[in-house]
Amino acid sequence: MKPLKRLLARIRNLASHQSGDQRFLEEMEEHLSRQTEENLRSGMTPAEARRQAVLKFGAVEAIREQYHAEKSLPFIESVVQDVRYSTRILGKSWGFTSVAAISLALAIGANTTIFSIIKRLLLDRLDVPHAEQLRLLHWYGDRHTVVTNMWGMSDNMPEGIGAASFSYPAFETTSTR
């Protein structure tokens, strides 16, 4: 509950741009002047009284930083700042920006094309009805098998021959079964 409240408060401050530290500065000024008065009462010179008050307060910049980090969300703030800065810089140098944008576009385009080809050829199922019923047929014969000339690859093994392509009569016989 507590962290949630804290987070909401910080988001509210971030959204309403109330991440400034006007309040802190005012409080600090008030604090220092009170401490200075106190020191004066205990008999210091005005300059010394102020100096001691500041010393006692601590490292102002560090505390201010801490205050600011507590008030808002420094991470988001710095991201926003970075984005703003980079758009400004990119807008300034058009040549660089366009070269970068074009090479990015080309690279992304090439990648997409290559991947879609590979996907069609290697990864997807063949685009036919009932692709799950497809089988790859292969035949083997011994040393005495006689084969006429045919297209496609054939495996010539010492103990015979085999191939994944069939003669037309063989195809006709298997397809009618």
Give the DSSP H or E segment for 14.
helix 2-15
Query: Can you tell me which of 15, 18, 20, 31 binds other proteins, judged by CB under 8 A?
Result: 31
Two structure tokens written together for 3: 């962290």
Judged by CB under 8 A, the number of residues near other proteins is 28
CB of 34 to other proteins, least distance (A): 5
Query: Can you tell me which of 15, 18, 20, 27 binds other proteins, judged by CB under 8 A?
Result: 27
Q: Which stretch binds other proteins (CB under 8 A): 52-60, 89-97, 107-115, 152-160?
A: 52-60
**What whole-number distance in Å separates Cα of residue 125 and Cα of residue 135?**
12
Three-class SS of 92-134: HCHHHHHHHHHHHHHHHHHHHHHHHHHHHHHHCCCCCCCHHHC
Which residues of this chain interact with other proteins, rule CB under 8 A?
2-3, 5-6, 9-10, 23-24, 26-28, 30-31, 33-35, 37, 56-60, 63, 66-67, 69-71
